Amino acid sequence: MNTNRVAIVTGGSRGIGRAVALHLAATGHPVVLAYAGNTAAAEATVGDIEAAGGRATAVRADVADEHAVAALFDTTEEQYGGVDVVVHAAGRMHLSPIADLDLDELDAMHRTNIRGTVVVAQQAARRLRPGGALVTFSTSQVELRHPTYGAYIASKSAVEGLTLVLARELRGRDVTVNAVAPGPTATDLFLDGKDDATLDRLAKLAPLERIGTPEEVAEVVGFLASAAGHWVNGQVVRANGGIA
């Protein structure tokens, strides 16, 4: 397995993606983080990585644009020599009862979550070096099936199916493909607009009776991306404290 491992993290400027970028950088990976539009957040993440002694580059890229994603991989190969780990954390969520669902919101969400995953997975399948790993992101809502999550669950169920098929298509390549499905996780996006009573109710869903942290999810991703986790392949890992 290549010891000079280079990582791409989409959605790497905020939330779980940022935690993953920081974790991989701390474990020795040069990291190229892709972001959709928040340049300040992306540059802040790069600054934090570099301040801790790591190496990182931020690249703006729409994950659903095949040309932008190809350029992202080109930049990574040109700057660091290759690609060994791809973590596709970029995603979009819109909640609504199915009867009231805005179909434009559905299209936008599926463009990012389904098309974006296909586009990133295509480049990963073509370019990951032997010993490499692709980690996609689903959600524990696929099993929980809470009201208003229907369209989001539909998009993430597609991600799970794609991930499991790709793991089998890469037979003989020495590349693993897995998905991580977090439960409630204390990101700014998750916490925004929720009062203490709501957060307490959500915390009680898991037998561990708390909400997870982005860093805990990043640790799971780091394991799947590492030599220690290379025997785990074609799986959906539900990192949620036992909620489902």
Q: Looking at the annotation, which residues are catalytic? A: 152
Partners of residue 133 on adjacent β-strands: 85, 176
Give the separation between CA 202 and CA 173, rounded to whole angstroms: 41
CB 174 within 8 Å of CB 130: yes
DSSP state of 195: -
Contact 68, 62 (CB under 8 A): yes
Cα 226 to Cα 181: distance, rounded to the nearest angstrom: 18
Beta bridge partners of 33: 9, 58
Measure CA of the first residue to CA of the last residue in the chain; give whole Å.
34
What tokens were used for 140?
Answer: 């524990």
